[in-house]
Structure 1
Amino acid sequence: MEITKRILAEAWQRTVAGHDLLQGVGLPPVALSDDELEECAERAEEAEDDGLCLLLDENGTVRGHHGPYREVFATRDLEQALYLIAEAAVRQRGGSPEEVADALERIDPVWGRRFRNGGLDDTGTVEACGRDPLEGLAWIARSWREQDPYTTLAFFRAAPGRTVDAERLALLYGADPEQVAAGTRLKDLQAVDGGRAHWDRQWKSCCFGQAGGWTFLLHHDTPPGAFADKGAYAALGIKESVWLTATAAKAIYTLDYIRDGRRVDDDWGALELIWYERGRAPYLRGGELDFLNRAIRRAELDHPQLTNTFELYFHALEESLGLRVPRRDFVEGEVRAAYWAEKDH
């Protein structure tokens, strides 16, 4: 059945009539063109309303928008559209993700399961995490907002059965060959001149290693000439890379996920971490990054004690992609480290 504006309005009226928790909740504004959507978004902005605006295509696709440019879902399934509208309405009333899940469950048990799973269906059972999230990747999230220990957290993974060589990767970036060959550790750099020398040069250093099936390389500034040997870089066999980059002075924190040489982003462009708000899926529902939406929802429900959204987001990255940074190695200074090579190397 092709969705029309009338069909959508009538279906929403029936939905509201059948559930006390939705009484008084109107259908979000429905636009039939990009111009109408922009007008709708402008009115919402003036009213300081961050609710949904709907764009209904000629082919019956319902597109949910926050603002004129940020599409958060697209569906031709009427039941799915009704669920997404109800989810947004219940969430906008406030409350924790658990409270939103309970409210949706009272409306429809299927909707409650769907919200808890974080996807667009209620299939599959997700086991609770059951461990301390700050022992994984999330331990680094809070300090990373202030560019500590490094501005860029980069992760690289090869095809199954292969490993990206951490030393070779660091050398291609420009790490000092002598320090790499000597097995220099972070504590070695910090020990020079009581740590004062490293304080002055830490912006020209990197740390590297392997964890969770990924090779990590953490650094601030990348030296000129990095990746100059494209053949050697290709020989590493990298199939996936994840880049988390912070520009604290501008409050810009971005995610870049590259798979098989292609950026995974649903054509959204820059993916900023500050888009994520607790209880709201940050990426296109049903899109290429929906696996991360699901992982974030589970992180919210499994760890209500975490109030820092960056910690929740990083834990979701660990759960969905396996990213890790060894906390003990950093705390004890055992992680491999080097300065960028001087020009005469």
Structure 2
Amino acid sequence: MNSIELGDLTADFAHLIRRVEQSGARVEVTEGGAPRGVLLPSAELAELEHFGQRVRGGPRPWSGTIGPTPAGPQRQGPYVRYPHSDAVRMTFARDHLVVAELRSVEELAWLEEKARTGRQGSMGPKQAAAFEEFLARRRPTGDGIAWIAGSWREQEPFTVLEFLEGPTPEAVALGYGADAQDVADGLLLHQVRERSDREGGEDFLDVLAFGEADGWTWLGHHDFGGALSPVLDPPASQRITLTATMAKGLYQFDYARDGVHQNPFPLEPAEDGRHDMYELIWYTPGRTPFAPDAPLGFLNPHIRRAEEQTDYTDGMSLFFAGLERAFGLSLPREALVSGQVRCARPARARG
């Protein structure tokens, strides 16, 4: 990428803009030798903006400098330069058509990262299906979660298992109403169990266990009867909830993305009212659990791979193994069994 000083650009831009328009090449703009911005063709910028807008993220970097109202447009040959009020960006046009833009180094880097992520999610139907097939063949990392499916079905060690992407374990625990002192002290699950064994009672049933594995915050808890009041703002980018109610034979799976519940059924027609969780007893190994046009249809190839590549035979374990492959979920088996995981009591229950 060629380079030019900002003063040289503003003094004589016609020749440079013609070269950018004809070659499609970027030009680095410096000031005193330090990078100031990048001049790039408008078509390339439009492509970056198109894919970048598909991705939610932090605020667009801003120079923080607001100068006086820019002077009027400056013309050189067939080209016109339009300066912006942030004293960095510039727009160059020819015959009322934008042909090049100058953007700050920070803004362009931010936009390129968003566009890169946006392109990954932009696939045609055949390409998307092939990519899902590729992802479904990945082996889970760590201990996975299928190992806990059998005991979870009996509500051991927890009634509810949750996985959240984005917030830290500590932030989630506090957001759920866990006692801040327990979180700060690093209370461990085995300590609560040992105290319950010595003093009696069932305090170990009233704790929120939490941790991090493979980029996900995981939670394990029982139904506190309202002791927990989950409040996360903003919501986790992804949230998976598995709830076991053995007495009623209810075993539910719920998935939300950016705070929006992902319906296990096709969204149309919506008048049937089926916008609820998925009951795991509906899943029969060997049969596709979700309609292809349902928001959860992307899970089908992952569950099929679990059926083909694992030794599990019961539906719960196979479904959990499918979630391993779809999301990369894992729970620390040895630490959970031994109680060497962090936990906290509900704030109002701490004595």
Q: Give the deviation of 1:188 after TM superposition.
A: 1.3
Structure number with the higher helix fraction is 1
Letter matched to residue 171 of structure 2: R
* Match of residue 275, structure 1, among 282, 293, 303: 282
Larger relative contact order (CA 8 Å, sep ≥ 6): 1
TM-score (norm 2): 0.55
Q: Give the deviation of 1:156 after TM superposition.
A: 0.9
**Corresponding position of 1:34:** none
Q: Give the deviation of 1:122 after TM superposition.
A: 7.8
Structure 2: runs of 5 or more not aligned: 1-125, 268-273
Structure 2 CA distance for partners of 1:270 and 1:132, relative to 1, 3 Å: closer
Q: Give the deviation of 1:286 after TM superposition.
A: 3.7
Give the distance between the partners of 1:185 and 1:333, measured in 2 at CA. Answer: 7
The reply to whether residue 290 of structure 1 matches residue 292 of structure 2 is no
Structure 2 CA distance for partners of 1:227 and 1:192, relative to 1, 3 Å: closer
Give the distance between the partners of 1:141 and 1:326, measured in 2 at CA. Answer: 14
Of structures 1 and 2, the larger Rg is shown by 2
User: Is the 8 Å Cα contact of residues 184 and 338 (structure 1) preserved in structure 2?
Assistant: yes
Letter matched to residue 204 of structure 1: D
Give the distance between the partners of 2:251 and 2:226, measured in 1 at CA. Answer: 23
Structure 2 CA distance for partners of 1:225 and 1:339, relative to 1, 3 Å: closer
Q: Give the deviation of 1:340 after TM superposition.
A: 1.8
C-alpha RMSD of the superposition: 3.0
The reply to whether residue 205 of structure 1 matches residue 216 of structure 2 is no
Letter matched to residue 255 of structure 2: Y
Q: Report how many residues are paired.
A: 216
Give the distance between the partners of 1:130 and 1:292, measured in 2 at CA. Answer: 13
User: Is the 8 Å Cα contact of residues 244 and 256 (structure 1) preserved in structure 2?
Assistant: yes
Query: Matched residue of 1:135: which SS?
Result: coil
Q: Give the deviation of 1:202 after TM superposition.
A: 2.5
Give the distance between the partners of 1:122 and 1:183, measured in 2 at CA. Answer: 44
Give the distance between the partners of 1:126 and 1:153, measured in 2 at CA. Answer: 27
**Corresponding position of 1:246:** 244
Letter matched to residue 262 of structure 2: V
* Match of residue 182, structure 1, among 181, 185, 188: 185
Letter matched to residue 283 of structure 1: F
User: Is the 8 Å Cα contact of residues 143 and 331 (structure 2) preserved in structure 1?
Assistant: no
Identity percentage over the alignment? Answer: 38
**Corresponding position of 2:96:** none
* Match of residue 336, structure 1, among 342, 347, 350: 342
Q: Give the deviation of 1:335 after TM superposition.
A: 0.9
Give the distance between the partners of 1:190 and 1:284, measured in 2 at CA. Answer: 43
User: Is the 8 Å Cα contact of residues 141 and 328 (structure 2) preserved in structure 1?
Assistant: no
The reply to whether residue 313 of structure 1 matches residue 319 of structure 2 is yes
Give the distance between the partners of 2:140 and 2:344, measured in 1 at CA. Answer: 31
Letter matched to residue 314 of structure 2: N
The residue correspondences of 1:44-59 to structure 2 (distance < 5 A) are none
The reply to whether residue 299 of structure 1 matches residue 306 of structure 2 is yes
Give the distance between the partners of 2:279 and 2:179, measured in 1 at CA. Answer: 32
Structure 2 CA distance for partners of 1:306 and 1:133, relative to 1, 3 Å: farther
Query: Matched residue of 1:234: which SS?
Result: coil
User: Is the 8 Å Cα contact of residues 210 and 219 (structure 2) preserved in structure 1?
Assistant: yes
**Corresponding position of 1:152:** 160
Structure 1: runs of 5 or more not aligned: 1-118, 159-163
User: Is the 8 Å Cα contact of residues 136 and 326 (structure 2) preserved in structure 1?
Assistant: no
CA deviation map 1:117-169 (0-9, x unaligned):
xx9x98466489696999311111000001111111111112xxxxx121121
User: Is the 8 Å Cα contact of residues 150 and 218 (structure 1) preserved in structure 2?
Assistant: yes
Structure 2 CA distance for partners of 1:183 and 1:276, relative to 1, 3 Å: same
Structure number with the higher strand fraction is 2
Give the distance between the partners of 2:164 and 2:197, measured in 1 at CA. Answer: 33
Give the distance between the partners of 1:343 and 1:138, measured in 2 at CA. Answer: 32
User: Is the 8 Å Cα contact of residues 140 and 324 (structure 2) preserved in structure 1?
Assistant: no
**Corresponding position of 1:192:** 195
Query: Matched residue of 2:240: which SS?
Result: strand
Give the distance between the partners of 1:152 and 1:188, measured in 2 at CA. Answer: 21
User: Is the 8 Å Cα contact of residues 193 and 204 (structure 2) preserved in structure 1?
Assistant: no
Letter matched to residue 233 of structure 2: A
Letter matched to residue 278 of structure 1: P
User: Is the 8 Å Cα contact of residues 138 and 325 (structure 2) preserved in structure 1?
Assistant: no
Q: Give the deviation of 1:172 after TM superposition.
A: 2.3
**Corresponding position of 1:255:** 253
Letter matched to residue 246 of structure 1: A
**Corresponding position of 1:79:** none
Give the distance between the partners of 1:193 and 1:242, measured in 2 at CA. Answer: 30
